[in-house]
Amino acid sequence: MKTKIIKWMIGTFASILIILGGLFFIPMYLFLQFDKTKFFLLIGISMIILGGVIIIAIKFYNMTKHTETKHHHRRRK
């Protein structure tokens, strides 16, 4: 039971990373066209990549560990 909560927390954290990276850091880079803001873009991209990797890892872990299809709500854009 505890592992499910931990996985949910990690998943939420990963989603927050992606949202923050995509909706905050990259727009900040686009609005503030200074030399210093390259670092915002880097943070944004790395956050999105990190979040994506975490989510893929959780999905993969779920597939390999146990093939229960209870939680299959996939959000596609």
pLDDT tens, 45-62?
888 888 888 888 888 877
Q: How far is CA 32 from CA 17, 25, 26, 40, in A?
A: 21, 10, 10, 10
Instruction: Specify the pLDDT at position 71.
Output: 55
Task: With respect to residue 24, please indicate whether it lies within any of the assigned structural domains.
Answer: no
Residue 6 lies in a domain: no
Q: Domain of 42? A: 34-63
Residue 39 lies in a domain: yes
Cα separation, 52 vs 7, whole angstroms: 14
> Residue 22 carries which DSSP code?
I
Amino acid identity at 47: M
pLDDT of 68 above 60:
no
Is the residue at 71 inside a domain? no
- Position 14 in a domain: no
> In the prediction, which pLDDT does 73 show?
59
Task: Identify whether 42 is part of a domain.
Answer: yes
Q: Is the pLDDT of residue 27 over 70?
A: yes
- Is 25 domain-assigned? no
- Domain presence at residue 74: no
Is the overall model pTM greater than 0.85, yes or no? no
Angle at 75 between CA 69 and CA 77, to 5 degrees: 150
Total of domains in the chain: 1
